[in-house]
């Protein structure tokens, strides 16, 4: 059965190259916002805005880390594609096949992220070289496997959220508004725009119970070695909790949605 999803992974790679130039240009130019963000925060730090938690070097390293995690773990249009399959009836061809749809879509997601990361690797390497004066290697060898584990948890959380949102297409004709609303919150609350530890303690305490900090902020903080052992354990515990919650939610919505879809089709 595993070989089936391995073949799906290969199909995902082939499907990505159907629109190869669009994919390549999108991948290569996706790092441009990083440069703009660094220039903005460099101006803020140079003007002495009172950021006691971060100096310029730490801020640049943070956003480079965000770029790396975003490339490795964040879905790109997966929810739109799944919702379109449901809305346009293409899901019918998958229902008659002996495959798990959740694993099928995850295989395609993994294929896209693998190829996207591979294509952007030279650009990321160039960014790392240009920013080498601000970057430093982690001091502890254990940081790397912990970072890899945190990125894996981030990818699972984001994929399950995207999948669950797409499942709403069984009940709602157009889910784009809901996707936009959720991702607007996610963009700010995941640490994409600024480090979350710049927020007030009260807001940080409230956010730690949501899935958003564990998508970008938590893995990057591990890479920067800014967390103690207790914080790392707590972060992995919350990642595991949200993977389970969103995974079960995605599976539940698929099961209920298919029942409704079959009833309408009949």
The predicted-structure confidence for 2-35, as pLDDT tens digits, reads as follows 666 556 666 565 565 555 556 566 656 666 776 7
Q: Which residue has the tokens 């992995």?
A: 236
140 φ/ψ angles, rounded to the nearest 5 degrees: -110, 130
CA distance 141 to 93: 47
CA distances to 59, 120, 121 from 125, in Å: 18, 8, 6
Write out the two tokens for 231.
């914080």
Q: Phi/psi class of residue 138: alpha, beta or left (left: φ > 0; alpha: ψ in -120 to 50)? A: beta
Q: Is there a contact between 150 and 157 (Cβ–Cβ < 8 Å)? A: no
Residue spans of the chain under pLDDT 70: 1-31, 34, 45-53, 262-266
pLDDT at res. 20: 57
pTM of the predicted structure, to 2 decimals: 0.84
pLDDT at res. 8: 62
Burial of residue 4, with CB atoms counted within 10 A of its CB: 0-12 exposed, 13-18 middle, 19 or more buried = middle
Q: Is there a contact between 16 and 111 (Cβ–Cβ < 8 Å)? A: yes
CA distances to 63, 89, 208, 257 from 68, in Å: 9, 36, 22, 35
pLDDT at res. 264: 47
pLDDT at res. 179: 85
pLDDT at res. 263: 46
């Amino acid at each position: 059965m595993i070989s089936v999803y391995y073949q799906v992974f290969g199909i995902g790679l082939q499907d990505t190259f159907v629109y190869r130039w669009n994919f390549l240009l999108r991948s290569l130019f996706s790092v441009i916002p990083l440069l703009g963000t660094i220039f903005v925060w460099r101006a803020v730090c140079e003007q002495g805005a009172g950021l006691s938690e971060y100096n310029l070097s730490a801020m640049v390293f943070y956003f480079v880390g965000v770029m790396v995690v975003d490339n490795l773990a964040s879905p790109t249009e997966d929810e739109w594609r799944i919702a379109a399959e449901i809305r346009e009836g293409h899901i019918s061809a998958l229902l008659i096949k002996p495959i798990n749809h959740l694993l099928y879509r995850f295989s395609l997601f993994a294929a896209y992220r693998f190829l996207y990361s591979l294509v952007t690797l030279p650009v990321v390497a160039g960014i790392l070289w240009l920013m080498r004066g601000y970057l430093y290697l982690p001091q502890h060898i254990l940081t790397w496997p912990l970072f890899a584990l945190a990125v894996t948890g981030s990818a699972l959380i984001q994929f399950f959220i995207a999948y669950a949102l797409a499942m709403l297409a069984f009940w709602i004709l157009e889910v784009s508004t809901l996707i936009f609303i959720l991702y607007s919150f996610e963009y700010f609350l995941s640490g994409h725009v600024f480090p979350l530890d710049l927020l007030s303690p009260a807001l940080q305490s409230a956010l730690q119970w949501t899935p958003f900090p564990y998508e970008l902020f938590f893995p990057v903080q591990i890479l920067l070695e800014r967390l103690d052992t207790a914080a790392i354990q707590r972060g992995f515990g919350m990642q595991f909790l949200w993977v389970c919650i969103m995974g079960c939610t995605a599976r539940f919505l698929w099961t209920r949605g298919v029942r409704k879809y079959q009833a309408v089709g009949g």
